[in-house]
A = this chain, B = another copy of it.
Amino acid sequence: MQTIDSITIPKREDQSHKGDYGRILLIGGNQNMGGSIMLSSRACVYSGGGLTTVCTHHSNHTALHSRCPEAMVSDLNDIKRLTKLVTEADCILVGPGLGLDIKGNNTLTFILQHVQPHQTIIIDGDAITIFSKLRLTLPDCEVIFTPHQMEWERLSGIKIDDQTPERNRQAADELGAHVILKKHHTELYLKTGDYKIDKGNPAMATGGMGDTLAGMIAGFIGQFETEEAIKYAVYIHSKIGDQLSQTMYVTPPSMIINEIPFMMKKLEAK
Complex interface bits, A218-254 against B, C-beta within 8 A gives 1, otherwise 0: 0000000000000000000000000001111111111
Find out whether the CB atom of A69 lies under 8 angstroms from the CB atom of B70. no
Complex interface bits, A59-72 against B, C-beta within 8 A gives 1, otherwise 0: 11111111111111
Whether A35 sits at the interface, judged by CB under 8 Å, is: yes
Q: B residues within 8 A CB of A252? A: 45-46, 70, 261
Determine the distance from Cα of A164 to Cα of B36 in the docked complex, in whole angstroms: 47
Whether A193 sits at the interface, judged by CB under 8 Å, is: no
Find out whether the CB atom of A65 lies under 8 angstroms from the CB atom of B65. no
Known contacts A207-B18, A268-B249, A254 near B69 by CB under 8 Å = yes
Known contacts A207-B51, A251-B261, A262-B247, A16 near B66 by CB under 8 Å = no
Q: B residues within 8 A CB of A206? A: 18, 21, 45, 48-50, 70
Whether A129 sits at the interface, judged by CB under 8 Å, is: no
Determine the distance from Cα of A168 to Cα of B63 in the docked complex, in whole angstroms: 42
Known contacts A13-B202, A18-B206, A34 near B67 by CB under 8 Å = no
Q: Which residue of B lies closest to A52 (CB)?
A: B207
Determine the distance from Cα of A67 to Cα of B17 in the docked complex, in whole angstroms: 27
Please provide the chain A residues from 1 to 40 with a CB less than 8 Å away from any CB of chain B in the complex. 9, 12-18, 20-21, 31-36, 38-39
Known contacts A70-B206, A205-B21, A184 near B48 by CB under 8 Å = no
Copies of the protein in its oligomer: 4
Contact of A63 among B35, B66, B97, B248 (CB under 8 A): B66
Determine the distance from Cα of A245 to Cα of B32 in the docked complex, in whole angstroms: 37
Whether A201 sits at the interface, judged by CB under 8 Å, is: yes
Determine the distance from Cα of A21 to Cα of B46 in the docked complex, in whole angstroms: 28
Determine the distance from Cα of A159 to Cα of B69 in the docked complex, in whole angstroms: 31
Whether A265 sits at the interface, judged by CB under 8 Å, is: yes
Q: How far is the CB of A255 from chain B (nearest CB, A)?
A: 8
Determine the distance from Cα of A11 to Cα of B246 in the docked complex, in whole angstroms: 13
Whether A74 sits at the interface, judged by CB under 8 Å, is: yes
In the complex, 26 of the A-B residue pairs with CB atoms within 8 angstroms, ordered by the A residue number, are: A12-B202, A13-B202, A16-B205, A18-B205, A21-B206, A31-B61, A34-B65, A35-B69, A35-B70, A35-B71, A36-B69, A38-B69, A39-B69, A39-B70, A45-B206, A47-B250, A49-B206, A63-B65, A63-B66, A63-B69, A70-B208, A71-B207, A248-B262, A248-B264, A249-B262, A251-B261
